[in-house]
Amino acid sequence: MDVRLLRIDSRLLHGQVTTNWAKAVKVNRILIVSDRVAEDLTRKTLIIQAAPPGIRTNVITVEKMIRLYRDPRFDILKPMILVEDPVDAKRVVEGGIKVESINIGAISFDTTRIMVTDAIAVNAADVEAFKWLHDRGIKLDVRKVSSDSSKNLWKSLSEKGLV
């Protein structure tokens, strides 16, 4: 399996993903990897309906993603993997999915999180996951769309005194 993009975005599948990223990285499948969404029939249905025409989209658990990645029957896939948060991204990489960088689009603010960029809020678990990923040499690339200039999330976390 040739993973074209691993993206963290709490919104998962939306216009920027369907109109820009899917074309820019030339995927033939979009995999929404989330235990929470896989168990929520309403969210799952809505997300699949938002898929761009011509690109098959599946919602699967983290465990199933890891199994599929190891299965040679799925070597023809060139997917974009979308996860909701850094913890799920870490779980995917821990499970053996190979990536050199992770794109971070947006992580929604809530009462447990602090803003580190205009679109990214983190809590302690997120910072821990980002640290784990960074320590393995994975670039943390902040871009909403592929044509945006790349910003290094690690630098933003460092400037905020979080790492």
Residues 6+ apart with CB under 8 A from 109: 115, 121
Is 14 marked active-site? yes
What Å distances lie between residue 104 and 53, 74, 101, 143, CA to CA? 24, 25, 10, 6
The interaxial angle of helices 62-70 and 86-94, nearest 10 deg, is 30
11, 14, 113, 160: the catalytic one is 14
Q: Are 126 and 88 in contact (CB under 8 A)?
A: no
Q: Name residue 99's amino acid.
A: V
Catalytic residues: 14
